[in-house]
Amino acid sequence: MEVTLNKTTTDAKITGTVQERLGFDPNSVKKLSFGELVKKVGPGIILTGIVIGPGNITTSAMMGANYGYQMMWLLIPIIIMGITFTMTAYRISIFTGMPILHAIRHYYGGVAAGFCGVALFLSCFFFTLGNITGTGAGMNLIFGFDWRIGSMIMLALLAFCYLTKGVYSKVEKGIMVCIVGMILAFFATLVATGGPNVGLMAKGFVTPQFPEGSLTTALAYISTNAAVTAGIYGTYLGLEKKWKKEDLFNGAMRADAITHIVTVVLISGAIVLVGAIVLNPTGTTIKAPAQLGELLRPFLGNAAPIVMGIAIIGAGFSSLLGNTQRGVVLLNAGLNKDTGLESKAVKTLCIVCLAIATVICFSYGGSPTQLIFIANVATSIATPVAGLFMVLILWKKELFEGIQAPKLLQISMTVCYIFALFMTYSALKKLVAQLPSVLGLA
């Protein structure tokens, strides 16, 4: 992505027509072929690896186990929101010449950018809590020992990857095998169980409803699958991918956004269906890591807990490494500090965050799956804060001077933001009232 991150960039005025700022006419850009688009896709895949962590697996399984097919309709707004948030972030970045947090600093000052950076960082930090707990839960499924011991082993490996060059690329390949294996296992389980009840599934897609007590789970599911954090971080990953301004208009960025949200929905949707088929009929609720293994038992039998443990460790480790970096990068961007992934400052702060998160996780006295779920709900703070500034910037007339403004995207972004705001307010209002009993304080 052809932008710069020095301090002078955010002080420069955004003037002139779009053609003058971009250096070319957007209407003259040739659309890429399918083969060319495949080569351009990148940040979206990385974002999928971050999103599909233990929190996503746990929340998706809980939704299917607790509510069956009734919440399948949420996949529709998730697809719309995911693509909208990502394309809004990419478009603002290209038209302003700055990643999102730098654009917020340009228009609304350092306080607003810093506030957004802190909110996004906290959202990612809560996600890290779920990832640390999740990797431990995966180790518990495989070896049976305390999840805290498992977490310490995985954290030691993570620190080694942060501090050593060339190790992560090898580990990542193994993790990708675990994630692919998990996808295949869930879809194979769908086949082994005879597949979903088509009538009930179709009804779940076309009948929007919130069953009693489902708002918090719905918020956690939406927050982990469709949040502005992914799109915002994507604008910084675009720098690593070396996207060009033309990629916004030749279809590359749209293909990347669609690839990201479709892969996320396919995986999390499959887990919801398996939960609805395997656990919901028996009235099973997920309160311990061992119950996650039950999802794959119809297909894998006694090997189910081990395979699920490997899948959760793979998903958790990949998400843990990527998400911790994401949080630190967004915090530094908000504070106008170094955002380079290989910089010493970013790596050091990542280690500090992991240490603090570990202390919090180990101090928690409840079930690890409960902590994963609570952490996922807490990630919802990002969209109401950063999303507001994205909506305001997207509606600025100067951004599209000389070309037609993207009315459909502007309307979609506004509606998606209002929907996310409503979900966050409604769910957190109930969660705050229940928090003492959830944490065992009442």
Please give the Cα distance from 151 to 291 (Å, whole number).
19
| pLDDT for residue 289 | 59
Lowest mean pLDDT among 58-67, 70-79, 413-422: 58-67
pLDDT at position 439: 52
pLDDT level of residue 371 (50, 70, 90 thresholds): low
Asked whether residue 36 carries a pLDDT value surpassing 50, the answer given is yes
What does the pLDDT look like over 10-24, one tens digit per residue? 444 566 777 887 888
- Answer whether 58's CB lies under 8 Å from 292's CB: yes
**Band of residue 385 on the pLDDT scale cut at 50, 70, 90:** confident
Other beta carbons within 10 angstroms of residue 177's beta carbon come to 12
> CB–CB of 147/140 below 8 Å?
yes
The predicted-structure confidence for 123-171, as pLDDT tens digits, reads as follows 888 888 878 888 888 888 888 888 889 889 988 888 887 777 665 555 5
Length of the chain: 442
Neighbours of 391 (CB within 10 A): 17
pLDDT score of 174: 59
The whole-model pTM stands at: 0.82
Token pair 């027509």 in the structure block, residue: 17
Neighbouring C-alpha atoms within 13 Å toward the C-beta of 120: 31
Distances 26 to 22, 23, 98 between C-alpha atoms, Å: 8, 9, 18
Please state, in angstroms and rounded to a whole number, the distance separating the CA atoms of residues 111 and 182: 43
In the chain, the percentage of residues whose pLDDT exceeds 70 is 84
Residue 343 in this model has a pLDDT that exceeds 90: no
Most confident residue range from 205-219, 315-329, 333-347: 205-219
Indicate the pLDDT class of residue 375, thresholds 50, 70 and 90. Answer: low
Q: Determine the Cα–Cα distance for residues 60 and 54; give it in Å rounded to an integer.
A: 10
**pLDDT, tens digit, 9 for 90 and up, residues 256-315:** 888 889 888 988 998 899 889 988 888 877 766 567 777 778 777 888 888 888 878 877
> What is the pLDDT at residue 1?
55
Higher pLDDT, 341 or 28: 28
Q: Which two tokens stand for residue 78?
A: 């998730």
- Containing H/E element for 359? helix 344-363
Q: Is 367 left (phi over 0), alpha (psi -120 to 50) or beta?
A: beta
Higher-pLDDT residue of 191 and 205 is 205
Q: Please give the pLDDT value at position 6.
A: 40
What interhelical angle do 75-96 and 382-394 show, nearest 10?
Answer: 50
Q: What is the mean pLDDT of the chain?
A: 81
pLDDT the model gives residue 4: 46
